[in-house]
């Protein structure tokens, strides 16, 4: 995780320790929004991971969807592919 992504993950980690035990386990999505946020920050960094997290939280409302919603894998550039 990049240093900036680590700083962005601190509020999520604080939420998981302080508030999550009292809120309960009634999440609409799998993985939970906080687990999604940590994974998105790990895979994509602070900016894109933060954007993915904001989009996910925006979808979490009574009229929104539900179910399995994984973090997308980072896209690979053609120049990153090994020569075969």
Closest CA to 38 of 24, 64, 20: 20
**DSSP letter assigned to residue 63:** T
- Position of tokens 């933060």? 50
Closest C-alpha among 46, 23, 37, 45 to residue 69: 37
- Give per-residue pLDDT as tens, 52-74: 999 999 998 888 888 999 999 98
Mean pLDDT of the chain: 88
Q: Where are the domains of the chain?
A: 30-72
pTM: 0.84
* The predicted structure's pLDDT at residue 34: 93
Cα separation, 67 vs 11, in Å, equals: 25
Instruction: Give the model's pLDDT for residue 22.
Output: 86
Confidence category of residue 7, pLDDT binned at 50, 70, 90: very high
């Amino acid at each position: 995780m990049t240093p900036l992504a680590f700083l962005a993950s601190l509020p999520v980690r604080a939420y998981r320790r302080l508030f999550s035990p009292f809120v309960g386990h009634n999440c609409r999505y799998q993985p939970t929004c906080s687990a999604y946020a940590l994974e998105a920050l790990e895979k994509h960094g602070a900016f894109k991971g933060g954007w993915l997290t904001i989009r996910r939280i925006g979808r979490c409302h009574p009229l929104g969807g539900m179910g399995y919603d994984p973090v997308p894998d980072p896209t690979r550039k053609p120049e990153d592919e090994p020569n075969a």
